[in-house]
Amino acid sequence: MKAEERLVDFVRDTAYGDLPEKAVDTIKNEFLAIAGTTIGGAGEEGCEEAVRFFREMAGKEEATILVYGGRIPAHDAAFVNAVMARALDFCDAMAPGPHIGAALITGSLAAAELAGGVEGPRFLTALAVGAEVASRMNLSERAYDGFDPTGICVIFGVAAAVSRILGLTGEETWNALGLAFNRCGGSFQSNIDGSLGVRFNQGWVAQGGLMCARLASSGITGPKNFLEGVYGYLHLYGKDLTGADDVVRDLGRQYALEKMVFKKYPSCGLTQAVTDVTLRMAAKDGITAGDVETIQISVPPYAHKLVGHEFKIGDNPKVDSQFSIRYCVANALIRGGSKLEHFEEAMVRDEKVQELIKKIRVTPDEAMEARGHTPVDMRVRTRDGRELFGRMDVAPGFPGNPLKKEEHEQRFRDCLDFARIPIGSDAETELISSIADLEHVDDVRRFVHLLVV
């Protein structure tokens, strides 16, 4: 059986009862994370502008703009809502970089409205198969080599989930995934340059995945050999470093989505370990910003390219700071933590932070790749001559160092506390309880109502 056919059968045939408990828990954590980041991110730069743009474009009233309210075409609602969900960059992620939930959850909620309502088990199953397809299409750092993983692999997950929600046939689902292959795209240059393109790429993924499924349901065909073909995904994007057998091995028995990452701090996943090491060293060794003479940090080359560059404030200080090791270390040492408000422009431009950043050097070390995706070594030389060392291999929130249930709920509440457009304590409590009990929800459109002010 072809690998493409095995993926299609998995999307079509997986039942709620087939899902392992850990996979279900991961999807619920993902849903809670996205509910929080959507509310918290709705007031961020570019979000209101996107809402205004699509409202002015108008069109068929199919799905809801979350937080703001109003109905627009489903694919446009998915776009706007995904942008909001990614705006804080505090959503779920996966090594070496795709953000699945911000597009998957928002695209699937829009599809649920199109379908006239979906019960909890069916919705949860659709999210699980979508997240699993995206996870299995995820490539290596070497293969991506500058491509934004979100724009490359996540669109397959959205197309898969929406195909399941809308009840597409096997042939239609195959075409939806084939069409998704033709919509892959996106570069990490958006992150490095601190542009709003980072969050808007998330919107294109949600919009594109939903559109691919809808077009396929209308009879539009996509390339059948989108995975294994001579010019297929594994050749063009995977650089022939991954085989089709690797993608579908143990499909339905082992769930790659369980490798999902939930950040402890509201910045890039590759800044999580260095932030945690900084805070631990400050607590253990009693160092403050005033004690520092120099800080030397070593990370693998992939991390250095994305977050290890010189820190410069450009058009979007929030994105600049979220994707900077130097800023995250200086911020953590000066403020004793890493909170959403620490990435606001006034905080980013703080002179004390800028002065400390000048003392921080980040260098790539190829040998560290053997230690995993998130290793960091940090050496601090103090003004009184001390030499301090800290290291970490697995960042908090990554597989092998997961967050606790209480930490997931606190992340959610932090997002709501930060939100410029609050939803109220009753909705907060109901969202937490209803997502935890998702398999017993009669119609997931109730979440849409809870997520509108």
Q: Would you state the pLDDT for residue 425?
A: 82
What is the SS3 string spanning the chain? CCHHHHHHHHHHHCCHHHCCHHHHHHHHHHHHHHHHHHHHHCCCCCHHHHHHHHHHHCCCCCEECCECCCEECHHHHHHHHHHHHHCCCCCCECCCCCCCHHHHHHHHHHHHHHCCCCCHHHHHHHHHHHHHHHHHHCCCHHHHCCECHHHHHHHHHHHHHHHHHCCCCHHHHHHHHHHHHCCCCCECHHHHCCCCHHHHHHHHHHHHHHHHHHHHHCCCCCCCCCCCCCCCHHHHCCCCCCCHHHHHCCECCECHHHHCECCCCCCCHHHHHHHHHHHHHHHHHCCCHHHEEEEEEEECHHHHHHHCCCCCCCCCHHHHHHCCHHHHHHHHHHHCCCCHHHHCHHHHCCHHHHHHHCCEEEEECHHHHHHCCCCEEEEEEECCCCEEEEEECCCCCCCCCCCCHHHHHHHHHHHHHHCCCCCCHHHHHHHHHHHHCHHHCCCCHHHHHHCEC
Tell me what percent of the residues of the chain surpass a pLDDT of 90.
97
What average pLDDT does the segment 340-366 reach? 97
Give the contacts of 207 (CB within 8 A, at least 6 positions apart): 75, 76, 78, 79, 82, 107
Q: Would you state the pLDDT for residue 424?
A: 83
* All domains in the chain, ordered by first residue: 3-262+402-450 (1.10.4100.10), 269-392 (3.30.1330.120)
Between strands 376-382 and 292-299, the pairing is antiparallel
Phi, psi angles (nearest 5°) of residue 275: -65, -45
Across the beta sheet with 292-299, the strand order is 360-364, 292-299, 376-382, 387-392
What average pLDDT does the segment 382-405 reach? 96
The closest alpha carbon to 453, from 123, 48, 89, 53, belongs to 48
User: How confident is the model over 75-119, as pLDDT tens digits?
Assistant: 999 999 999 999 999 999 999 999 999 999 999 999 999 999 999
Distance CA 27, CA 263 (A): 15
Mean pLDDT of the chain, nearest integer:
97
Q: Would you state the pLDDT for residue 24?
A: 98
What average pLDDT does the segment 437-448 reach? 98
User: How confident is the model over 271-325, as pLDDT tens digits?
Assistant: 999 999 999 999 999 999 999 999 999 999 999 999 999 999 998 999 999 999 9
pTM equals: 0.93
Q: Would you state the pLDDT for residue 104?
A: 98
For the chain, the straight-line distance linking the first and the last C-alpha, in angstroms and rounded, comes to 48
Six token digits for residue 291: 């004690």
Confidence of residue 1 (pLDDT cuts 50, 70, 90): confident
Whether pLDDT at 188 is above 90 = yes
Cα distances from 369 to residues 366, 392, 393, in angstroms, run 6, 13, 10
Whether pLDDT at 433 is above 90 = yes
